[in-house]
Amino acid sequence: MITLHNVSKSYNKNKILRGVNLRIEPGEFVSIVGQSGAGKTTMVKILIGEERVGTGQVTIGDWDITRISKKEIPYLRRQIGVIFQDFKLLPKKTLEENVSFALEVSGGKSAKIKKIVPSVMKIVGLEDKRKRYPSEVSGGEQQRTAIARALVHQPKILLADEPTGNLDAINANEIIDLLLRINKFGTTVILVTHNKDIVNRLNRRVVTMEQGQIISDQAHGKYLL
């Protein structure tokens, strides 16, 4: 469960978030939408420990991350898998090596890596392309690799920040279908997006932000803006 209670955040006296209250239950699939400057990115940064709140409280499960320390952030990010618009893959490593690297840097043992990596590559449908380099596959396949990398720690939450922003409609829909499949495994999925067509097709919960506030929270919603 994720809870934001009366969360506000300012940069140079400009209020980016204004008293945000939000509760996301385990296993939900939630789209967070809004125009540029609505506060979506700041909320993402707070959830992954990149930014701290100005006022208010943020909890993830039993963990209060409101004043999270730097040494605790790596542990937080193992609970929250994150996918970005730019895939952030290492160009000189194969797709499989990119996924493995996420476990290596956190001290994962070789036996664990050999067990988990093939499993997540299969989940994202890339088991037959695991030896290829990022430059040798499509943008959709690069994003699938990024999703596999986000899954290696078996996170309870998957946070996708504009994951289809660099993809065409076909690849974008394939990525969303993959996120839905991951959600069926019980993983909470938070999708931050501008894509009206995707949000309307999903017919899932939609939280709409405007000027740092939540202006709408629909259980089975549409893109309102």
**pLDDT confidence band for 223 (50 / 70 / 90):** confident
Is the predicted pLDDT of residue 213 greater than 90, yes or no?
Answer: yes
- Looking at the DSSP bridge assignments, the partners of residue 55 are 8
pLDDT score of 204: 94
Mean pLDDT of the chain: 93
Is the predicted pLDDT of residue 225 greater than 80, yes or no?
Answer: no
pLDDT score of 63: 87
- Residue 52 corresponds to which tokens in the numbers above? 């701290």
pLDDT score of 106: 83
Is the predicted pLDDT of residue 62 greater than 90, yes or no?
Answer: no
What is the rounded CA–CA span in Å between residue 75 and residue 73? 5
Residue type, 190: I
Residues near 177 by beta carbon (within 8 Å), at least 6 away in sequence: none
Task: Taking residues 200-209, report their average pLDDT.
Answer: 94
Name the architecture of domain 2-90+155-218. 3-Layer(aba) Sandwich (3.40)
Stronger pLDDT, 207 or 194, i.e. the higher one: 207
pLDDT score of 70: 85
Q: Name the residue ranges covered by the structural domains of the chain.
A: 2-90+155-218
Is the predicted pLDDT of residue 28 greater than 80, yes or no?
Answer: yes
Least confident span in 58-62, 105-109, 112-116, 189-193: 105-109
pLDDT score of 122: 94
Task: Taking residues 168-188, report their average pLDDT.
Answer: 94
pLDDT tens-digit readout, 75-132: 888 889 999 888 999 999 999 999 999 999 888 888 989 999 999 999 999 999 999 9
